[in-house]
C-alpha cells in the first residue's frame, strides 16, 4: 500500500493467490510470436512490465484450436511445445512478484481463412462485417473439438508453471460471444435458443478448464459488459450471465470489456474518447457479483485509477496501451511520481504496427517490443563526454537531447521558433488529436530534469558548429503545395499546377502553424492518405468553413484503417459538414474556384466561391544545414527525424534515441 494511491497499491486475493496491487496488464497482441510459440522477446516484454509494477499479467490471446489464426504470428495455446516457453516467462515475471495467466481464445467468425487455409468456424452462418467470409456452421463434433482445445490449453498452462488461465472468447464478439448472443446464434440444437442452451458451450469449457487446473490455479473469464450494437447483449444481460458463471463456483474473477467488430472503437478507442468510458457498464455487472472484477476503458492515469477503485466500479484496473506506453507505470505511481509516467495518447500506433505485421510498438516509447535491444533507463554513460548541439525542438530533437544529456554529454538545444514541440503541437490544435501534445510535453518535462541549455527563438548557423563536437540536425520538414500527385510524377519537375502559387493556397503545415483567415469555403486536396488530411479537414471545419475533401484515393485517409478509427474519423468529419470527393485530382486553381477531374471518367467539376485551398501532397525535408555541415568536414553530424525523411512521430523519436546512443 502507498500513501499516494492506497487502493491501487493494496493487495487483493484472486482465488488461491494474491496480487500485490491492483494493476492488471490485460491481454493484447504483440506479433513477437515465432512458429506459433512465445519467444525470448516475449520474456523481455512481459518482464519489463512485471518489473515496472504490474501485479497480474494476462498474456496475449492464444489460439485454442487451429481454426483461429488471423495471421501467422499467433501463439497456439493447445501446442505442448508451449509449456517450456511458459516456464521461461513464469520464471521471469515471478521474480518480481507478478502473477502470470494464459488466455486461450477463438475468434469464431471474426477472422478469415487466408493465414491457415482452414474454414472459419462459427455457431451460425453469419459473416463478420470486417472479414466478410461466410463461416462453416459448427457441428457437435466441432464444438467438442473446441472444448478439448480449451482443456489442452489449461493443461499446458499448468505444466508450464503459470498462475492461472483466463478463458477468453465471451468479449469483443469472438466465438463464445457469438454463442451467447442471440444476434449471432441462430442454432436450434442444444447450443442455441434459450439462454441456458447458449451458455452451454462456455459452461463445458469452464468445467474442462477447472478439471485441468485444479484448485491451486486461478481461473478467470473475459466477458463484455456491453456489446454496443443493436441486437447484442447489454449491461443488464451481461450482469445476469456473469452471475450465472459465478454461481458455478469454477471461476475466481471476471475481466470486463466492451464491443465487437461491429464497432471496434468500443474495444480500443482512439483519442479523444473519455477515459474510463466503459466503467459505468462494468459497475452494473459488478453489482451482480461477489468475485473480483477487472475494469478497463482508457484508464491511463493513476489518479483516475484510484478514483474508479474508490467508487467501487472495479477491483482491479486493467490496462494494455498505458503499459505499452510506459512499462514502469506502476512503479512510478507507487513511488508518487505519476507526473513522470509517459502518457498513452490514444494514437493507436500499437495497433498500426500490428496491422503492418510488425512487432508491437508505441508512438513515443521506442523500447516497446524492443526490450531485448535496449532499455531506456539503462543507458551506457559516455566514456568521453562531448559538446552536442541539437538543432530543432520537435520530437526527434527533444528525444535526442534528453538521451544525450542522460549519457553525460553537454547538450544545447536550438529551436528557431518560440515554442518547443514542432508539428506535434500544431496537430494538437484539433479536438481529435489534443492528447498528442503530451508526447512533446512529456519530453520537455524530462529535459527540465537534466542540465540541458535550451535556446528558443534561436536559429543555428553554420558558423555555430565550431563550438560543438557533434551536431544533430532535427530541423523537421515543411509541407509542399505544388499540387501534383504521385500518379503524375512527370509533372513535378514542370512546376506547380496552375494557381498553386496564389496567396490563398497553403500547405497543411503552413495552415496549422500560422492560422491564416480561411473564409467560408475551403478545398483540401490530399494525396497522402494519412492522418494529415483528416486533421486538416477537422481544423478547417472547426473554424467554420464548408470543407470539400478532395483526394485521388478511393476513400479519405485510408491509412486510418491501421489504427482502426477510419469510421470514427469519417463520421466525425461528415457530422462537421465535410464533403468527400474521391477518385479526383486537382487540375487548376483560380482566385475563387478549383477545378477537379475524375480519374476514371475524366469528367471535370468546378468548385466555386472557394476562399482557401490547402494541399496535403507531401513534405520537404529541411536538410540544408546538414548538407552544409557535412560538406565542409566540420564536427560529427547526424540527420534524424523528418529532416532525414518526412515520416511519423514514432520514427522521429526512435531515431533521436538511437542517434544519441551512438555518440
- Residue 603: C-alpha distances to residues 56, 551, 598 (Å): 60, 15, 5
Residue 440, Cβ density class (10 Å: 0-12 exposed, 13-18 middle, ≥19 buried): buried
> CA-CA distance, 27 to 13, in Å (whole number)?
20
Q: If phi over 0 gives left and psi between -120 and 50 gives alpha, with beta otherwise, what is residue 32?
A: alpha
Angle between helices 140-159 and 195-213 (to 10 degrees): 30
> CA-CA distance, 421 to 440, in Å (whole number)?
5
Q: Which runs of consecutive H residues, i.e. helices, occur in 190-290?
A: 195-213, 235-247, 279-286
Q: Share the mean pLDDT of the chain.
A: 96
Q: Which helix H or strand E contains 440, and what residues bound it?
A: helix 437-448
**CA geometry: angle at 254 spanning 253 and 259, to 5°?**
165
525-583 per-position pLDDT tens digit = 999 999 999 999 999 999 999 999 999 999 999 999 999 999 999 999 999 999 999 99
93, 57 contact by CB (below 8 A):
yes
> CA-CA distance, 250 to 209, in Å (whole number)?
9
CB atoms within 10 A of CB 364: 28
111, 69 contact by CB (below 8 A):
yes
38, 45 contact by CB (below 8 A):
no
Q: Which runs of consecutive H residues, i.e. helices, occur in 39-137?
A: 40-51, 82-94
CB atoms within 10 A of CB 532: 23
Per-residue confidence (pLDDT) for residue 634, from 0 to 100:
83
DSSP 8-state assignment for residue 558: G
> CA-CA distance, 431 to 42, in Å (whole number)?
36
Q: Sketch out the chain's domains with CATH numbers.
A: 12-355 (3.20.20.70), 387-476+622-662 (3.40.50.720), 479-620 (3.50.50.60)
Q: Provide the 3-class DSSP secondary structure of residue 454.
A: strand
Which string of b and e fits 503-526 if b means at least 16 CB within 10 Å? ebbbbbbbbbbeeeebbebbbbbb
Place of cell 493487495: 11
182-221 per-position pLDDT tens digit = 999 999 999 999 999 999 999 999 999 999 999 999 999 9
Q: Is the pLDDT of residue 491 over 80?
A: no
C-alpha of 230 from chain center = 27
Q: What is the mean pLDDT of residues 479-493?
A: 86
Q: What is the DSSP string of 391-435?
A: E--SHHHHHHHHHHHHTT-EEEEEESSSSS-THHHHHTTSGGGGG
> CA-CA distance, 377 to 48, in Å (whole number)?
11
Per-residue confidence (pLDDT) for residue 377, from 0 to 100:
85
Q: What is the mean pLDDT of residues 470-490?
A: 93
Q: Return the biggest CA–CA distance within the chain.
A: 82
> CA-CA distance, 565 to 272, in Å (whole number)?
11
Per-residue confidence (pLDDT) for residue 1, from 0 to 100:
54
115-125 per-position pLDDT tens digit = 999 999 999 99
Which string of b and e fits 365-404 if b means at least 16 CB within 10 Å? bbbbbbbeeeebeebeebeeebebbbbbbbbbbbbbbbbb
Which string of b and e fits 66-83 if b means at least 16 CB within 10 Å? ebbbbeebbbbbbbeebb
> CA-CA distance, 187 to 193, in Å (whole number)?
6
Q: What is the DSSP string of 137-172?
A: EP-HHHHHHHHHHHHHHHHHHHHTT-SEEEEEEEST
Q: Is the pLDDT of residue 2 over 80?
A: no
87-98 per-position pLDDT tens digit = 999 999 999 999
Kindly indicate the confidence band of residue 490, based on its pLDDT and cuts at 50, 70 and 90. confident
Per-residue confidence (pLDDT) for residue 493, from 0 to 100:
72
Per-residue confidence (pLDDT) for residue 499, from 0 to 100:
97
Place of cell 455457431: 123
> CA-CA distance, 372 to 42, in Å (whole number)?
9
Extract the runs of DSSP E, i.e. beta strands, from 566-656: 579-581, 584-589, 594-598, 604-607, 612-616, 619-621, 636-639
C-alpha of 473 from chain center = 29
468, 388 contact by CB (below 8 A):
yes
CB atoms within 10 A of CB 595: 17
From the list 49, 42, 55, the residue with the least C-alpha distance to 86 is 42
> CA-CA distance, 608 to 520, in Å (whole number)?
12
> CA-CA distance, 146 to 148, in Å (whole number)?
5
Amino acid at each position: 500500500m502507498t500513501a499516494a494511491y492506497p487502493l491501487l497499491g493494496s493487495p487483493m486475493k484472486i482465488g488461491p493467490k494474491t496480487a500485490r496491487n491492483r494493476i492488471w496488464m490485460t491481454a493484447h497482441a504483440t506479433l513477437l510470436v515465432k512458429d506459433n510459440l512465445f519467444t525470448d522477446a516475449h520474456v523481455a516484454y512481459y518482464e519489463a512490465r512485471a518489473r515496472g509494477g504490474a501485479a497480474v499479467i494476462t498474456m496475449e490471446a492464444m489460439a485454442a484450436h487451429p481454426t483461429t489464426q488471423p495471421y501467422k504470428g499467433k501463439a497456439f495455446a493447445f501446442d505442448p511445445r508451449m509449456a517450456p516457453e511458459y516456464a521461461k516467462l513464469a520464471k521471469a515475471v515471478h521474480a518480481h512478484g507478478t502473477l502470470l495467466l494464459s488466455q486461450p481464445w477463438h475468434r469464431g467468425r471474426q477472422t478469415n481463412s487466408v493465414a491457415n487455409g482452414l474454414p472459419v468456424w462459427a455457431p451460425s452462418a453469419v459473416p463478420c462485417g470486417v472479414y466478410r467470409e461466410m463461416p462453416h456452421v459448427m457441428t457437435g463434433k466441432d464444438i467438442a473439438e473446441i472444448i478439448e482445445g480449451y482443456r489442452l490449453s489449461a493443461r499446458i498452462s499448468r505444466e508450464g508453471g503459470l498462475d492461472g488461465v483466463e478463458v477468453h472468447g465471451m468479449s469483443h464478439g469472438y466465438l463464445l460471444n457469438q454463442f451467447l448472443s442471440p444476434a449471432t446464434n441462430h442454432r436450434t440444437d442444444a447450443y442455441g435458443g434459450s439462454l441456458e442452451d447458449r451458455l452451454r458451450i462456455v459452461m463445458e469449457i469452464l468445467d474442462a478448464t477447472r478439471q485441468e487446473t485444479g484448485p491451486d490455479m486461478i481461473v478467470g473469464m473475459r466477458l463484455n459488459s456491453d456489446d454496443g450494437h443493436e441486437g447484442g447483449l447489454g449491461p443488464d444481460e451481461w450482469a445476469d450471465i456473469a452471475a450465472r458463471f459465478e454461481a458455478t463456483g469454477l471461476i475466481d474473477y471476471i475481466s470486463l470489456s466492451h464491443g465487437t467488430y461491429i464497432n471496434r472503437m468500443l474495444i480500443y478507442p482512439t483519442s479523444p474518447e473519455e477515459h474510463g468510458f466503459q466503467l459505468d457498464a462494468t459497475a452494473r455487472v459488478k453489482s451482480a457479483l461477489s468475485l473480483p472484477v477487472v475494469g478497463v476503458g482508457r484508464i491511463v492515469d493513476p489518479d483516475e485509477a484510484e478514483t474508479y477503485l474508490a467508487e467501487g466500479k472495479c477491483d482491479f484496473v486493467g490496462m494494455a496501451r498505458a503499459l505499452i506506453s510506459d512499462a514502469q507505470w506502476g512503479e512510478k505511481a507507487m513511488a508518487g511520481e505519476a507526473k513522470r509516467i509517459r502518457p498513452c495518447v490514444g494514437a493507436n500506433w500499437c495497433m498500426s504496427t500490428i496491422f503492418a505485421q510488425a512487432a508491437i510498438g508505441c508512438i513515443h516509447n521506442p523500447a516497446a517490443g524492443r526490450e531485448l535491444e535496449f532499455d531506456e533507463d539503462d543507458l551506457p554513460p559516455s566514456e568521453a563526454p562531448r559538446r552536442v548541439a541539437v538543432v530543432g525542438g520537435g520530437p526527434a530533437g527533444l528525444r535526442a537531447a534528453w538521451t544525450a544529456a542522460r549519457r553525460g554529454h553537454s547538450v544545447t538545444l536550438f529551436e528557431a521558433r518560440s515554442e518547443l514541440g514542432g508539428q506535434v503541437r500544431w496537430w494538437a490544435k484539433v479536438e481529435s488529436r489534443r492528447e498528442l501534445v503530451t508526447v512533446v510535453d512529456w519530453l520537455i518535462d524530462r529535459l527540465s530534469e537534466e542540465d540541458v541549455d535550451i535556446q528558443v527563438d534561436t536559429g543555428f548557423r553554420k558558423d555555430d558548429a565550431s563550438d560543438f563536437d557533434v551536431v544533430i540536425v532535427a530541423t523537421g520538414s515543411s509541407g509542399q503545395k505544388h499540387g501534383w500527385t504521385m500518379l503524375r510524377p512527370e509533372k513535378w519537375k514542370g512546376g506547380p499546377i496552375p494557381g498553386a502559387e496564389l496567396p490563398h493556397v497553403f500547405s497543411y503545415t503552413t495552415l496549422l502553424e500560422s492560422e491564416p483567415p480561411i473564409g467560408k469555403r475551403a478545398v483540401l486536396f490530399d494525396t497522402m492518405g494519412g492522418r494529415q488530411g483528416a486533421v486538416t479537414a477537422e481544423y478547417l471545419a472547426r473554424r467554420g468553413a464548408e470543407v470539400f475533401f478532395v483526394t485521388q484515393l478511393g476513400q479519405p485517409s485510408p491509412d486510418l484503417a491501421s489504427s482502426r478509427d477510419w469510421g470514427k474519423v469519417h463520421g466525425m468529419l461528415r457530422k462537421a459538414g465535410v464533403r468527400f470527393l474521391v477518385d479526383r485530382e486537382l487540375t487548376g486553381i483560380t482566385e475563387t474556384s478549383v477545378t477537379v477531374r475524375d480519374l476514371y471518367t475524366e469528367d471535370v467539376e468546378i468548385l466555386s466561391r472557394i476562399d482557401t485551398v490547402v494541399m496535403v501532397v507531401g513534405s520537404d525535408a529541411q536538410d540544408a544545414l546538414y548538407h552544409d555541415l557535412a560538406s565542409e568536414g566540420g564536427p560529427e553530424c547526424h540527420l534524424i527525424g523528418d529532416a532525414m525523411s518526412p515520416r511519423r512521430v514514432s520514427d522521429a523519436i526512435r531515431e533521436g534515441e538511437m542517434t544519441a546512443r551512438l555518440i
